[in-house]
Structure 1
Amino acid sequence: MHLNLHRKSLAVSLAVLLSSVSAASIAADVKPAVDTGTTNNSQVVNVTLFLRLHNQAQLEDYIQQTVTPGNPHYRQFLSVSDFASKYGATDAEIAQVQSFLKQNGLSGTVLGNRMAIRTSGTLAQFSAAFKAPIHTFVSKESGRAYHRPTQSLILPSQLSNSLLFVSGLSNEHKYSPHIVKSVDTKPAGASANRALAGNTLAATTSNAGNPTATGVPGQYTVGDVANFYNINPLYAKGINGKGSTVAIVTLSDFYADDATTYWTGIGLPTKANRITKIAVDGGAVIDGGSGETSIDVEQAGGLAPFADILVYHAPNAGNGFTDAFMQAVVDNKADTISTSWGLPEIFNFAALNVDGASITDTSDAGDLQTFHQILLEAAVQGQSTFAASGDSGAYDTVRPLGTGTAPGDFNAPLTVDSPASDPYITAAGGTTLPFSYSFRSGPTKSIDKESVWGWDYIQNYFDKYVGKGAINLFSTGGGGGVSVYWRQPVYQWFTNGIQRSEKKQTLSYNDPTAGWQTLLVLPGAFQGRNVPDIALNADPETGYILVSTVDGGVQAGWGGTSFVAPQLNGISALLKQSTGHRVGFWNPQVYFLQNVFGYGKYSSFNDIRNGDNWFYAGKNGYEPGAGIGTLNVTNLSLFLSSF
């Protein structure tokens, strides 16, 4: 279904993006999936019809007003009903869609934001309604089976202007959690102040300030985060998240007892009975991603120990992710929302299956546009939103696709993660804290200053002291770079260090028969949205303890930007309490503070001038590795409270 791009998105057609080779001509050649024919027509699926917003330019202008001190609408956030009446679909548009559904034996429920209609039915019904066969495919690489339409959807002309995207007819894509385990390291000279005995956290013997901290790299807790980023003065004033609600949007269910075990184990008093699970589209299951959800709840709820926690979980397929995020927004109970799941942004230009199964034309970039509308609603309602920027450094396709030069391999273009790349969400990047380390029989080395997280420092160590080629860590590190879809937002216009996309970037595949094939040509020198915005410690080598039943109980040496997104979520809950109101959309506010006040003792930010994420190096000001830097949370609270 061809849909026009948003006025602030990249004004370039898919024909340009696929300038070297058409998607249709290579679909059968790129690690092809086997089309096994029509899928099970009786299978019932949930489908969401997303409706276009009205007056979007006015909406964006009003969002800016809500976070501009001195403006009459400063912090005058809208309710869901106000949003729906001002910007949602009209009665006539909704009636047209409902009529279309009824004609095809379907019925739908209109959400309160008037942005979406949820329906369910058999694949046969949807295939007939949208005049698109739906087939089952099996990836030759992984053996995973999935279904999707074999051609673009066809809609009645009267719906073409009101309908943005139809989501849920394909379960091809799988989003990834942004979590990483440490390499085989031994922090030099570190004696574990917190013993990990079975599934029990032993008592802290040295905490360097916060009583729940350990001071041990790889075994850090939320108490250490409070020490690193100056949160303790807020706790001393009784700021603990009371009266705030945080939401976690996730694609795996989890054991809630993991979080309570973590908080109890580190000696952290918390509000009782604070976790509520909300299943969306039938909910997610306990699986290999459950540890991700445990992290999110433990970290957000640990930094804001008396905040309520809502966990929105949905299946990791089809419309599950967008539906879960939208439910958190349309419920409007959470003051702040985070997710630690994502997908390379460029996968939305051409639907490149994560298994490498196929490439199909999706020039409407439906998921990008859908998330954008959801995030606009969150912003105007005053809900702060955060997303992990990824753990593949500057090359976001490496984790899902791999990289190499052999037949069957992909190259690695500079790419960013979605939804973190959207200009209306705060992208959470990663750093490495100062520490000393050694690997195997090698000497002790040290990182002296907080740095952009990229494991090339470990790669170099192994190459020099253990043996070149003994390990390949490319390109593990904090996600960051330049979007080639979303244009640079106004809040980044005056920020020192903002960059344009690099030239000569392509996504290419080494076909076993035909050799290297160019799949996507990415725009060079594009003035795109820079990612991330804020960073905190994410390197597993200076990482954290987590409690996850699925992963074996108490674990040390975990990291990833999956920790940073929920940490910012919990910090935002503290700021809501300290300021007495919702903080709203962070980005215009934090960039303004950094642009005006810079760095220093009284700044809200710490400049990150060392390290790199395999391409973008730390330096004075902004860099696509750590953003505008890490936080001084107490200073940020003082600034926000003064307006």
Structure 2
Amino acid sequence: MSQNLRASSFFAVALALAGCGANGRVPPAGAGGRDTGAAQPATGAGEPTVTLTGNVHPLARAAFDQGAIDPETRVERLLLLLQSSPAQQAALDEVVDAQQDPNSPLYRHWLTPSEFGARFGADDEQLAQVTSWLTAQGFNVDEIAAGRRLVIFSGEAGQVFRAFNTELHRYRVDGGEHVANAEDPQIPAALAAVVEGVVSLHDFRRQSEIATRRPLDADPEYTAGSTHYLFPADFATIYDLNPLYGSGTDGAGVSIAIAGRSNISVSDVAKFRATAGLAPNSATVTLAGSDPGLVADDQEEATLDVEWSGAVAPAAAVQLVVASSTATTDGVDLAAAYIVNHAMAQVVSVSYGSCEQEMGASELAFYDGLWEQAASEGMSVFVASGDAGAAGCAAPTDTTGAGTAVNGLCSSPYSTCVGGTEFNEGKNAAQYWAAGNTVGYGSALRYISEQVWNESASNGGTGLWASGGGASVVYAQPAWQAAVSGASEANGMRAVPDVALAAADHDGYFMVEDGSYWIASGTSASAPAFAGLMALVNEKHGAAQGNANPELYSLANAPGKPFHLTPSGNNSVPGVAGFRAIGLDYNLATGLGSVDGALLAQEWGAGRTVAPVTPRRTGCVASDLFYLRCKPPLRPPVIGRGIGAR
């Protein structure tokens, strides 16, 4: 869709500013939490209500409104997000930090989903209160997540209106039709202490971060002229994985979960591995609900993620968790929740995104809470930073962006955000690439210097194709990040990406889909590849590692740092000035840079000197597009017109 439309919606909510709550989270303009207006007489049903502000999508605008949908329209697998008490949240934050502190008795003592739920989720009485209310509104309660922070429920559009006092409307945006709630939802005041909100009441989908995919000839003679495609053998040479493979470290005993919303053909994975000279190792597909089948675009995303996470960790158990999207819930959200609440893997990879400014308050809270739960369970989560450079709310195919933004699925400090680099051989390609291929079609000879991936129209390419990165407008900068040179450019806010790997079409990744050979690029490739690297680290150290960020940043100051600093480039795109790499330890386009895989595994744990405190909840700041409104503390409810009344 046109990002000009997206940008104008941001200015419509500009200049909103309110006080910060005790938790100090900083959602973007339009996000906020609870309505804190003065109490009013109840009308209609007369039940005191609380409005969950900041939960209308920016494109659900009157100018695009086509009217309410049929009240009998089915809305399946809605996610009701529950919140911990302040005491529970404080205790959880302490536990997750202690799990990363070598001096703590809780060091790497991971929780199970049920243990997490018992300590930090809703109790039996609260769950009974919530589920009884949902069933009284006519909904079916499909599942209570093991972590006790999510209730999955289904019903009809009319029931959504009666329960949450907001209609679902159709919106025509840039020629496409969407469904979204027209107003912020409301909940009974009696539930306000336990219900955070409905994660999503719209179908503006997460964006796949696969940049390009183009076909190859049937005969894979991939080293020709100045064109060099990445095969697993090339990746292993460039990022120094062969010493690990030679010593028997190949991901055996480690599991990697991929969040997807399309099934795949496992025969494609088998052909990919056979062509690349990898031993057979079939991926497992787990359905989190109904099978969506093979979904265009999402199939190539899931296939790429499965093939390349398993290419880097060739003996790891790769599991694709697939969930169908519904009229109001993204399959990526459902798949991610399933992975965490079923403890599916030690390493998680997600190649989708939505910019923070387009995510509602409940969506942001959902991912921050989910990734913190994942960290408490020992999971290391890797998320693609995006493919539109500094213009994170734009689509890479747009001709211009409109303001800086980052991916809200990876800006939480509990996920590792993976950006993109581009090999910079200059005029010396023969020093880095052989004239012919070895077994598995490898031709890379050594590490190749990298620059920021930028193939946008600002750098001689097209569109906005470049490494996503910038400063969050939601999360404060954790102490472990602030200590690294260059991170101060984020002005006290969480900076992303954290790390990067090759992502350019200049040297795209080989893949197989529908039995044919393709080349793919983007941070959709670098994220699963880094997940594979983490699987090697896990095997090398014999245990799950949880949130990788504290250790990664500690290694930036260690004597044997494993990072390849990015000396040049930027992620500026048409319409948006981005961020430069100038050789510091960190930059807002490629993070800490790419890694020497063998050195990363060897040095893991060597850089830690202090506990990794994550003080991310601080005060308000202003962005370059609009003032931000902090989430207010819970106050007495608004006595409104009553749930379902007009």
Q: Same fold (TM over 0.5)?
A: yes
1:176 equivalent among 202, 207, 213: 207
The normalised TM-score by structure 2 is 0.77
Partner of 1:368: 364
Q: CA deviation at 1:300?
A: 0.3
- Helix, strand or coil for the counterpart of 1:129? helix
Q: CA separation of 1:297/1:6 partners in 2, compared to 1, >3 Å: closer, same or farther? A: farther
C-alpha distance in structure 2 between counterparts of 1:430 and 1:37, whole Å: 42
C-alpha distance in structure 1 between counterparts of 2:180 and 2:77, whole Å: 14
Instruction: Work out the percentage of aligned pairs sharing the same amino acid.
Output: 26
2:342 equivalent among 331, 352, 357: 331
| Residue pair 2:283, 2:317 contacting (<8 A) in 1 also | yes
State how 1:573-584 maps to structure 2 within 5 Å.
573-584=535-546
C-alpha distance in structure 2 between counterparts of 1:223 and 1:309, whole Å: 19
The normalised TM-score by structure 1 is 0.78
Partner of 1:518: none
Partner of 1:590: 552
Partner of 1:481: 470
CA offsets, 1:67-110, max 9 Å, x none? 22232211111111211111111112111101201222234221
C-alpha distance in structure 2 between counterparts of 1:546 and 1:327, whole Å: 27
Partner of 2:485: 496
CA offsets, 1:188-245, max 9 Å, x none? xxxxxxx9542x546x8x8xxxxxxx99854111221111111111100111111111
C-alpha distance in structure 2 between counterparts of 1:324 and 1:489, whole Å: 27
Task: Note if 1:347 corresponds to 2:358.
Answer: yes
| Residue pair 1:479, 1:625 contacting (<8 A) in 2 also | yes
Q: Which amino acid aligns with 2:188?
A: P
Q: CA separation of 1:201/1:402 partners in 2, compared to 1, >3 Å: closer, same or farther? A: closer
Partner of 2:592: 628
Q: CA deviation at 1:25?
A: 14
Task: Note if 1:612 corresponds to 2:577.
Answer: no
| Residue pair 1:280, 1:324 contacting (<8 A) in 2 also | no
Partner of 1:111: 145
Q: Which amino acid aligns with 1:232?
A: N
Q: CA separation of 1:331/1:305 partners in 2, compared to 1, >3 Å: closer, same or farther? A: same
Q: Which amino acid aligns with 1:533?
A: D
- Helix, strand or coil for the counterpart of 1:530? strand
Q: CA separation of 1:266/1:215 partners in 2, compared to 1, >3 Å: closer, same or farther? A: farther
Q: Which amino acid aligns with 2:411?
A: S
In the alignment, structure 1 segments of 5+ residues that lack a partner are 184-194, 207-213, 349-361, 405-410, 439-446, 462-471, 502-525
Task: Note if 1:236 corresponds to 2:232.
Answer: no
Partner of 1:449: 449
CA offsets, 1:17-62, max 9 Å, x none? 9xxxx99999899793242333352424221211102422221222
C-alpha distance in structure 2 between counterparts of 1:420 and 1:39, whole Å: 35
C-alpha distance in structure 2 between counterparts of 1:57 and 1:217, whole Å: 53
Q: CA separation of 1:26/1:280 partners in 2, compared to 1, >3 Å: closer, same or farther? A: closer
Q: Which amino acid aligns with 1:137?
A: Y
Q: Which amino acid aligns with 2:451?
A: S
Task: Note if 1:287 corresponds to 2:318.
Answer: no
C-alpha distance in structure 2 between counterparts of 1:395 and 1:123, whole Å: 34
Q: CA separation of 1:138/1:417 partners in 2, compared to 1, >3 Å: closer, same or farther? A: same
- Helix, strand or coil for the counterpart of 2:556? helix
C-alpha distance in structure 2 between counterparts of 1:629 and 1:541, whole Å: 18
| Residue pair 2:232, 2:276 contacting (<8 A) in 1 also | no
| Residue pair 1:46, 1:281 contacting (<8 A) in 2 also | no
Partner of 1:559: 521
Task: Note if 1:538 corresponds to 2:496.
Answer: no
State how 1:182-201 maps to structure 2 within 5 Å.
197-198=217-218, 201=220
1:164 equivalent among 182, 196, 201: 196
Q: CA separation of 1:427/1:23 partners in 2, compared to 1, >3 Å: closer, same or farther? A: closer
- Helix, strand or coil for the counterpart of 1:596? coil
Q: CA deviation at 1:403?
A: 5.0
| Residue pair 2:57, 2:358 contacting (<8 A) in 1 also | no
| Residue pair 1:165, 1:370 contacting (<8 A) in 2 also | no
Task: Note if 1:254 corresponds to 2:264.
Answer: yes
Q: CA deviation at 1:542?
A: 1.8
Q: CA separation of 1:575/1:216 partners in 2, compared to 1, >3 Å: closer, same or farther? A: farther
1:547 equivalent among 507, 512, 516: 512
Q: CA separation of 1:310/1:113 partners in 2, compared to 1, >3 Å: closer, same or farther? A: same
Partner of 2:41: none
Q: CA separation of 1:324/1:27 partners in 2, compared to 1, >3 Å: closer, same or farther? A: closer
> Alpha carbon RMSD of aligned pairs, Å?
3.3
Partner of 2:439: none
Query: Which stretch of the first structure deviates more once superposed, 274-283 or 126-135?
Result: 274-283
C-alpha distance in structure 2 between counterparts of 1:105 and 1:224, whole Å: 56
C-alpha distance in structure 2 between counterparts of 1:529 and 1:219, whole Å: 34
Q: Which amino acid aligns with 1:527?
A: G
Query: Which stretch of the first structure deviates more once superposed, 389-398 or 60-69?
Result: 60-69
Q: CA deviation at 1:182?
A: 7.9
Partner of 1:58: 91
Task: Note if 1:147 corresponds to 2:179.
Answer: yes
Partner of 1:434: 424
Partner of 2:622: none
State how 1:50-89 maps to structure 2 within 5 Å.
50-54=81-85, 55-89=88-122
Partner of 1:301: 310
CA offsets, 1:498-522, max 9 Å, x none? 1455xxxxxxxxxxxxxxxxxxxxx
Partner of 2:381: 385
- Helix, strand or coil for the counterpart of 2:354? strand
Task: Note if 1:396 corresponds to 2:392.
Answer: yes
- Helix, strand or coil for the counterpart of 1:430? strand
Q: CA separation of 1:81/1:123 partners in 2, compared to 1, >3 Å: closer, same or farther? A: same
Q: Which amino acid aligns with 2:453?
A: W
1:639 equivalent among 603, 607, 612: 603
Query: Which stretch of the first structure deviates more once superposed, 282-291 or 99-108?
Result: 282-291
Q: CA separation of 1:527/1:257 partners in 2, compared to 1, >3 Å: closer, same or farther? A: same
C-alpha distance in structure 1 between counterparts of 2:54 and 2:286, whole Å: 41
Q: CA separation of 1:448/1:566 partners in 2, compared to 1, >3 Å: closer, same or farther? A: closer
Q: CA separation of 1:11/1:175 partners in 2, compared to 1, >3 Å: closer, same or farther? A: closer
C-alpha distance in structure 2 between counterparts of 1:106 and 1:26, whole Å: 23
C-alpha distance in structure 1 between counterparts of 2:539 and 2:56, whole Å: 56
Partner of 2:643: none
C-alpha distance in structure 2 between counterparts of 1:418 and 1:218, whole Å: 33
C-alpha distance in structure 1 between counterparts of 2:20 and 2:124, whole Å: 22
C-alpha distance in structure 2 between counterparts of 1:561 and 1:255, whole Å: 22
How many residue pairs match? The answer is: 542
2:322 equivalent among 313, 318, 321: 313
Q: CA deviation at 1:307?
A: 1.3
Partner of 1:49: 80
Partner of 2:413: 423
Partner of 1:469: none
Q: CA separation of 1:275/1:160 partners in 2, compared to 1, >3 Å: closer, same or farther? A: same
Partner of 1:39: 70
| Residue pair 1:50, 1:117 contacting (<8 A) in 2 also | yes
Q: CA deviation at 1:580?
A: 0.6
Q: CA deviation at 1:284?
A: 6.0
Partner of 1:192: none
C-alpha distance in structure 2 between counterparts of 1:23 and 1:572, whole Å: 36
Larger RCO of the pair (alpha carbons < 8 Å, separation 6+): 2
